[in-house]
Structure 1
Amino acid sequence: MPSEQAGGAGAAGAAGPIRSEPGSLLEHVAVAVFGMDGDGRIRFWGPGAQGLFGHEAADVLSRPAAALFPEPPAGTPGSAARLTERARTLGYWRVRLPALHRDGSVFDCGFRVFPVAGSAGDPVVMGLASRGDELDRVKTNLAFLDALFETCPIGLVMLDQDLRYVHLNQALADMDGLPVAAHLGRATDEIMLTSDDGEFQRMLRAVAGQG
């Protein structure tokens, strides 16, 4: 677990925000990483947190995480306290909450929180946060792709950078004479048999390598 100083230095020297796993629509969603201690103070401020919330590491480390959220209604716990309590009680919690930017604007934000051991052995709650509108855009795109793959009568396939099957529809499976599951993880040249001296495979590799 990085210390407060490491968190600050990491934020200052980072090339950009952390993004989710390459090779999917989710790679386009920036993820802010931050950590809170038992007193509700910010212990770690990752590379994307400044971009999402607008605060530099030096301005927020060791300060209350409540500054990342709008003021709660009187008599109710703040969002930072809810995040830490739920993470420690459930072990993992996912929620959408209003977040507060440094400029005073409020925006919808998706959070995932979970407890970890700090560098001194003390419990720390780590948070991953992304803008709600970006998450909604990805959900919409994924829903569209699912509908397209399910309804299109033409064979459709998604391949990874190594030309292995990631996703395909039933129409293509029927053409190949193999179940959908029998394709997944296998290389295309195991199933796509052609008589073009490898030209089709060379074309696929060029697209994977150069876009």
Structure 2
Amino acid sequence: MLSYLSYLFKKEEPIIGKYFIVVVVVVVVVIVVVAAAAAVVVEVVVVVVVVVVVVVVVVVVVVVVVVVEVVVVVVVVIVVVVVVRVVVVVVVVVVVVVVVVVVVVVVVVVVVVVVVVVVVVVVVVVVVVVVVVVVVVVVVVVVVVVVVVVVVVEVVVVVVVVVVVVSSITLYCVVYCQYNKPNLYSADNILVIQHLCHS
């Protein structure tokens, strides 16, 4: 009986039975590493895209605000110059006639300038508020899209890893059972029967 057991331990197993589990483990490890690397690459790309979008939006906002301020200043200067010219002409024409008319004209000019300044300030405030709202909406949308993409990628990676592991275990069980199913007429069983009969 001891000699038969030593024979069983020394006999060579099929190569597919010996090394299949090693191959399965290596394949699973490679798939997990590739999936993790893909997830990291996707996250890095998404973060870079978000940073680029935010930088572009901020630059556009700054440019728009600067352009609006320059346009507003130019308009105010033009309006003031035109108003001053009109006032000078009116004063020159009217000063000889009556000083009261000059005072009235000056008051009207001051009111017009105040109204223009108020309108300009309101326009600048409205533009800044609209730009800030647009930037906030764009940033929120980009962040939501990034979070959704990252979650979907991680879920897909987990599902792929689980499917690969379950499939590998099932395939190993099938192959192992196929190559190790009992056979009453095999050489090992005949040796056992002969040994039992002689003993």
Identify the structure with bigger relative contact order (alpha carbons < 8 Å, sequence gap 6+): 2
Which range, TM-score by smaller chain? under 0.3
Q: Scaled by the length of structure 1, what TM-score is found? A: 0.23
Higher helix share: 2
Based on CA coordinates, which of the two structures has the bigger radius of gyration?
Answer: 2
